[in-house]
Amino acid sequence: MMQGQVPKKVQRLGAKRGGLKVDPRMYPKTPCRGETYFEPRPGKKVLDVFHELEDPEADICKEFVREQNKLTEQVLEECPGRADYTELMTTLMDYPKTTAPRKKGDLVFYYHNTGLQAQSVLYSQSGAVDPKRMDETSQVVIDPNQLSDDGTVSLSSASFTKDGKLLAYALSSGGSDWKEVRVLGIEDGGKPVEM
């Protein structure tokens, strides 16, 4: 099979219909202790029984997520055609993707994904972007795929100064809303320098 071709058995999947059913009694019990705490508004008390689930590092939250993931995997294992759908989605997503370039100072910045990378890589380049020569003329600024062994650290946002000499960027771990902000210096030629 050539790259980009969809296998015939996968093409037929569009005709299959069905749904997954889960008995609600199988859902993990949601931990709640009924803590009372004050809202920032004066004189108001709010009962927040799920307060402990707001901290993704709390043991009670981690255990709840583990139980949810366990149920999800059990249900998905019973999904007819799961392997075929996985093959279809992998085939459909396996092509190079490049964002529109952004010019900052003398540099051009863009994101590129070779096809099945978990996350796109941020590149810099001097002058105009030449799609035919990107690999040989571009400099990696941040490769989020290298930030953790399991690929769960993502580049959630990036913002350059007008001259392109500084980059403030935010990292997120495991899909969390919590972000760690860092700053990189960008040398002439687009090479990143930790600050």
Q: Which of 116, 186, 180 is nearest to 151 (CA)?
A: 116
Residue among 21, 151, 7, 20 at smallest CA distance from 85: 7
Torsion sign over Cα 152, 153, 158, 160: negative
pLDDT at 80: 81
Determine the pLDDT at residue 178.
Answer: 86
d(CA 195, CA 185): 6
Task: Report the pLDDT value the prediction gives residue 149, as an integer from 0 to 100.
Answer: 87
pLDDT digits (tens, 9 = 90+) for 110-149: 999 999 898 999 999 887 767 677 767 788 999 999 998 8
**How do residues 6-64 score in pLDDT, each as one tens digit?**
555 544 554 455 567 788 888 888 887 666 655 566 777 766 777 778 888 889 889 99
Average pLDDT over residues 79-92: 87
- In the chain, which residue ranges form alpha helices assigned H by DSSP? 8-11, 59-77, 82-93, 134-137
Domain ranges of the chain: 24-78, 97-194
Cβ of 83: how many Cβ atoms within 10 Å?
Answer: 10
What pLDDT sits at residue 152?
85
